[in-house]
């Protein structure tokens, strides 16, 4: 049998040296990462004053999603009437006096949300209603359905009764 070169004391010393090297490297890596993050944070502060091309693209896209606050009633009514005609649903009226709670993130960017209650005559054909909902959801400027309460019509199996339909639009 050959004699082993590695003894317990040699292995113990080697492991302690490796552990010290690993602790030193992880401390150095932490310092470098912290320094890079500090530089990145200071760059981000200076970039906020000078918008990058990506930020200007996002700002441009956000203006497509929102509508001017002064004309939102007429524009939304025009869009909803167009969808009503295209899908064959009957709308009694639009209640635009709904109050909305301000969202701190939106309001800091100058965007406000407005809620509109849509009163539909019931019963409504289910497939026409789905087309109307799809038209609302895919609309530009963006309209979100935030509250919907429907039930099956007892008279016609292809119809539903719309108890409540509340939408939200974003204005600037």
Rounded to two decimals, what is the model's pTM?
Answer: 0.59
The pLDDT assigned to 98 comes to 63
CA-CA distance, 6 to 158, in Å (whole number)? 84
The CATH number given to whatever domain includes residue 108 is 3.30.70.60
Q: Do 89 and 133 belong together in one domain?
A: yes
The pLDDT assigned to 23 comes to 96
pLDDT 10s digits, 69-79: 777 788 888 88
Start-to-end CA distance of the chain, whole Å, equals 86
Q: Do 44 and 103 belong together in one domain?
A: no
Helix, strand, coil share (%) of the chain residues, nearest 5: 55, 25, 20
Count of domains in the chain?
2
pLDDT 10s digits, 41-57: 887 776 665 556 666 67
Q: Give me the percent of the chain exceeding a pLDDT of 90.
A: 31
pLDDT 10s digits, 155-171: 888 899 999 999 888 77
Q: Do 77 and 152 belong together in one domain?
A: yes
Residue 3 lies in a domain: no
The pLDDT assigned to 94 comes to 87
Model confidence at 64, in pLDDT bands (50, 70, 90)? low
pLDDT 10s digits, 115-132: 889 998 888 999 999 999
Q: Do 31 and 110 belong together in one domain?
A: no
Q: Which domain holds residue 39?
A: 8-50
The pLDDT assigned to 139 comes to 79
When pLDDT is averaged across residues 93-109 and rounded to a whole number, the result is 65
Residue 156 lies in a domain: yes
When pLDDT is averaged across residues 6-23 and rounded to a whole number, the result is 91
CA-CA distance, 70 to 32, in Å (whole number)? 52
The pLDDT assigned to 109 comes to 64
- Comparing CA positions, the residue from 147, 131, 167, 140 lying closest to residue 79 is 140
Q: Do 28 and 100 belong together in one domain?
A: no
Residue 136 lies in a domain: yes
Q: Do 31 and 99 belong together in one domain?
A: no
Q: Do 77 and 46 belong together in one domain?
A: no
């Amino acid at each position: 049998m050959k004699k082993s070169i590695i003894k317990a004391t040699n292995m113990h010393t080697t492991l302690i040296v490796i552990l010290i090297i690993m602790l030193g490297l992880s401390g150095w890596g932490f310092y470098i990462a912290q320094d890079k993050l500090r530089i990145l944070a200071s760059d981000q502060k200076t970039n906020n004053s000078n918008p990058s091309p990506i930020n200007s693209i996002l700002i441009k896209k956000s203006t497509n999603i929102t509508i001017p606050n002064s004309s939102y009633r007429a524009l939304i009514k025009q869009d909803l009437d167009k969808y009503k005609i295209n899908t064959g649903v009957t709308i009694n009226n639009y209640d635009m006096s709904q109050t909305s709670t301000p969202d701190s993130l939106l309001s800091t960017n100058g965007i406000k949300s407005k809620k509109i209650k849509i009163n539909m005559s019931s019963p409504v054909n289910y497939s026409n209603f789905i087309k109307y909902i799809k038209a609302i959801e895919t609309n530009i400027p963006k309209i979100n359905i935030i509250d919907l309460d429907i039930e099956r019509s007892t008279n016609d199996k292809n119809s539903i009764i719309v108890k409540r339909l509340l939408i939200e639009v974003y204005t600037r």
